[in-house]
Amino acid sequence: LILVRPLSSLFAKENLNRMSEQQLNLYDRLINEPSNDWDIYYWATEAKPTPAEFENDVMAMLREFAKNKKREQRLRQPDLEYLFEPSR
């Protein structure tokens, strides 16, 4: 889970505050329905194909985020304070 949790939590920190209600519902389903977090990691990194039921705009956003085009260091989860920050 060393890579899986930071990926999803950093993605959440960067994106949750600007997602629509529909996207939030899709994200909630994505992080809660698959029984294995590694599946999400493999789908996001395109190591395995994403099942049709999870192929949506949130998965596309997560795949783009996983590419890490800015080469940011993403080795630890963010602090949870972002959950309590007022939206911008």
Q: What is the pLDDT of residues 60-70, one digit of tens each?
A: 999 999 887 76
Query: Could you give the count of Cα atoms lying within 13 Å of 11 in the half-sphere of its Cβ?
Result: 25
Q: d(Cα 67, Cα 77) in Å, to the nearest integer?
A: 17
Prediction pTM value: 0.72
Indicate whether 4 pLDDT > 70: no
Q: Are 52 and 20 in contact (CB under 8 A)?
A: no
Query: What is the model's pLDDT at position 1?
Result: 42
| Pairwise CA distance, residues 65 & 49, whole Å | 17
Boundaries of every domain in the chain = 3-69
pLDDT in tens, 10-38: 888 889 999 999 999 999 999 889 878 88
Question: Taking a C-beta distance cutoff of 8 angstroms, is the pair 41, 7 a contact?
Answer: yes
